[in-house]
A and B are shown apart, each in its own frame.
Chain A
Amino acid sequence: MVECPSCGRRQEPRLICETCATPLGVELDCFAALGLPKKLAIEPGAIERVYHELSRRIHPDRYAQAPVRVRDASLRSTALLTRSYRTLRDPLDRGKYWLELRGEKLSDDNKQVPPEIAETVFEVQEHLADLREAIRADPARARALGDELETRRAALQTMMNDYQIALGGNFVLWDLGRSNAKDLAAELKLILSNIAYLRTLMRDVDLGLGSLKAA
């Protein structure tokens, strides 16, 4: 039980007081902070609306004239709300957080490139190394490599879309609650590490294309 810093009402931990709507300043999980059910399928527009609405109510700007303990609670609750929004807004971070809630960590078995995309990763990295070299030494070749890289980028985007659809499917299975959690978690880890690697790879590709443009 926690106590409201404003009206003193004792209640279960939540974002805002059930009596006077003052932020309580207590730690909560990300779903509880946003007042969302513990479900993985989240619509992006909806979560933004919830975040804005709650920000309007608990932000320190709303409590600038309040007593210090209320101001402090508003600061803590808003920091929690912001962190929760950032975590749940992004499907990759949301999936990682879900694993964390289950006491598992993606980064533990994420030291190597996932086998499914290993070949693609190595090819693209080689391509990028060639491009960097050509930008220095051979502008005509650099342009040709740049065009090929654009094609590869489109292929990577298609792979990414597929993994994101797979992730969405995995989320729905969790939410339905009928599958074996252990299997689902193993599948989730696999999809997430593929997405994480692809994301880094695509960022490197964009950097490579950016430096080609600059040269």
Chain B
Amino acid sequence: MPQILGIDLGTTNSLIARMENGVPRVIADPETGATMLPSVVAIAPDGSISTGARAIELEPHLSVEQGGKIAAVGFPGGEYGAVIRSVKRYMGLGGAEVAPEDCSRYAFADLSGPIVRFQVGARTLTPPQISAEILRALKVRAERALGEAVDRVVITVPAYFNDAQRQATKDAGRLAGLEVVRLVNEPTAASLAYGLGKRAEGTVAVYDFGGGTFDVSILSIKAGIFEVLATNGDTHLGGDDIDAAIVNWILAGLPGEVARDRHVWNSVRSAAEAAKKKLTTDSSAEIAVALPGHTIRKTLTRAELEKLAEPIVTRTLARCSMALADAKLSPAQIDAVVLVGGSTRMPMVRQRVRELFAREPLCSIDPDEVVALGAAVQASVLMGGQGDMLLLDVVPLSLGIETMGGVMERLIHRNTTIPTSVTEMFTTAVDNQTHVDVHVVQGERELAADCRSLARFKLGPIEPQPAGLPRVAVTFLIDANGILNVSARDERTGREHSVDVKPSYGLSDEEIERMLEESIDLGEQDLEQRLLIVARVDAEQILAALAKQLGEYPDLIGADERARLAEVAERLEAARMGADRNLIANLVEQLNELSTPFAGRIMDAAIKAALEKKSVEQVS
């Protein structure tokens, strides 16, 4: 049997690992030596894909070119291709759940459906398809490094992921041509990495604060059995939120149309992230972001950062208290605290965790790698290679059905060990009723409408009988991946009913099949072709931006300057239809250079206008 590998499919970075002579190791890219793959995917207008560091280069941003001119470069979304970061935040979400501020960062297609769709050229892409590209890149990396095919993996997910988010992750694996043998919760995976080889016993809290998600799990470890007692978390709470708070702090006072611009936002975001990382060791960080005609300069002190991060870190601690309460334990009863995830590098986070549990947290394994290493350990468990080591995890959210009056009847309580099942008896409410509708929901609220819809299904056909006589036993089974399976049996006839469960969110099986066929058609594009496409996109973008600016700010440009720009623009227009990539690139360069003073004047005017408006408001 070929080896099963472990994948940490992270919000910010993804890794792939395997066991080598009983020790888990992250597999590095054989060409670059990198262990982490940034979870960023770039899709050109023709559908060709890049991932990781290459995709980050294509992300819309402001680039300071030679001679100090500033150019807006990268795929801005929509018809010009898109670059998607932190796609994990969209996994398992319905279109209507996309936050309004996200709409200025990405081009979405119709947001009324049961799944988020990004608009890329003429196509729309769903989060599982984009995650599949990250998984495929990891698969290729591992295959090149090991010289053998990789097709079976363990993928980690946040412990607090709901059913739809887990299913979306499994779908991503399938779309990447991988068999997902098991989904493992990230904090539990981390505990396996820590517990391997040691005969550790006791009660452990895992504090997992990553790029986009927060989890806390409390485990009891006894004779090789890792039993989760309680878990809690927030699947939209992470380092990204701290970055966003810094970005807003940097951009405060700038006009909305500047702050919302994708190029500006991304440039500021990377400056914010760099400053945050610097403040891990330093007490202040200089931030400089060059906009056309204006450079933002600010100093971020550690104290200021901690003020910005305070509400976010406080939310993680509240989750820890909830997990402890569910486990019926006090902080003093915890024998060890383990730190996982890049955000735990922040001194403030360590300090607050230390205070809550009144002990020094452990971080001897790299917090960026520990989840992937744990996934490799679990893969080894599944191959029978870890003796009597066994993980008993829990379902993070209660599962129930909608009953009369919209009340949620809880069938499986949160923190129940999985796999688990419960059988519920259903009958008819009126004579000769042939179908019973069942609505399954997940969450902790009393009303079904306040919980998250999981699926709907119709029981039947039921033989026409007086009301209350038919008895259909429905079994709700949560498997070891934390995913619901439903089966039904007619108690009178003993016949199994087929249950056609319609998930409320996500992709149907048919859609996945179709996507698989499409991805085979597309095939791999060669590098030269890709570079040509990138050059063409750059050309289209700059031409479109210039046309827009000339239309909107005709007073800010003289006749001579306009004529010179028009001449180069015309040549570029002609060149972009051809196949000479270097010619296109040269003309883009020229046009960029020529238009920089004009762009600077526009930015200046916008900032002035905003400041004037503000002072008028302050006076009045």
- A binding-site residues for B, Cβ under 8 Å: 52, 55-56, 59-62, 64-65, 75-76, 78-80, 82-83, 85-86
Contact = CB atoms under 8 A, between A and B. Distances in A.
A9 B480 CA distance: 27
Contact of A62 (B384, B477, B479): B384
B417 A86 contact: yes
B416 A75 contact: no
B225 A83 contact: no
Contacts of B392: 55, 59
A71 to B, nearest CB: 10
Interface stretch (B202-210, B299-307, B418-426): B418-426
Contacts of B479: 60, 75
B182 A56 contact: no
B421 A83 contact: yes
B486 to A, nearest CB: 13
A contact patch SS: helix
B609 interface: no
Contact of B223 (A52, A59, A61, A76): A52
A61 B381 contact: yes
Contacts, number: 61
Interface string B371-402: 00000001001111000101110000000000
B381 A80 contact: no
A80 B384 contact: no
A160 to B, nearest CB: 15
Contacts of A64: 4, 181-182, 382-383
B391 A61 contact: yes
Interface string B508-542: 00000000000000000000000000000000000
18 contacts: A55-B392, A56-B225, A59-B392, A60-B479, A61-B480, A62-B384, A65-B382, A65-B383, A75-B477, A78-B419, A79-B418, A79-B420, A79-B477, A79-B478, A80-B421, A82-B419, A83-B422, A86-B420
Given A55-B392, A64-B181, A65-B1, A79 B421 contact: yes
Given A65-B1, A82-B418, A83-B421, A60 B384 contact: no
B6 to A, nearest CB: 13
A79 B419 contact: yes
Nearest to B224: A56
Contacts of A79: 418-421, 477-478
B144 interface: no
B222 interface: yes
A77 B477 CA distance: 11
A76 B475 CA distance: 11
B480 A60 contact: yes
Nearest to A48: B222
A64 B182 CA distance: 9
Contacts of B227: 52
A155 B612 CA distance: 69
A31 to B, nearest CB: 18
Contact of A56 (B384, B388, B416, B477): B388
A28 to B, nearest CB: 13
The 4 closest A-B pairs by CB, nearest first: A64-B382, A79-B421, A79-B419, A60-B480
Nearest to A206: B325
Contact of A52 (B222, B384, B391, B478): B222
A75 B382 contact: no
User: Most B CB atoms within 10 A — which of A62, A64, A76, A78?
Assistant: A64
B566 to A, nearest CB: 66
A75 B383 contact: no
Contact of B382 (A61, A76, A78, A82): A61
B377 to A, nearest CB: 12
A64 B386 CA distance: 13
B166 to A, nearest CB: 15
Contacts of A55: 225, 390, 392
Contacts of A78: 419, 480
Contacts of A86: 416-417, 420
Contacts of B421: 76, 79-80, 83
Given A75-B419, A82-B417, A65 B384 contact: yes
B59 to A, nearest CB: 38
A84 to B, nearest CB: 10
Nearest to A65: B1
Contacts of A80: 421
A82 B420 contact: yes
Interface in B1-44: 1, 4
Interface in B422-437: 422
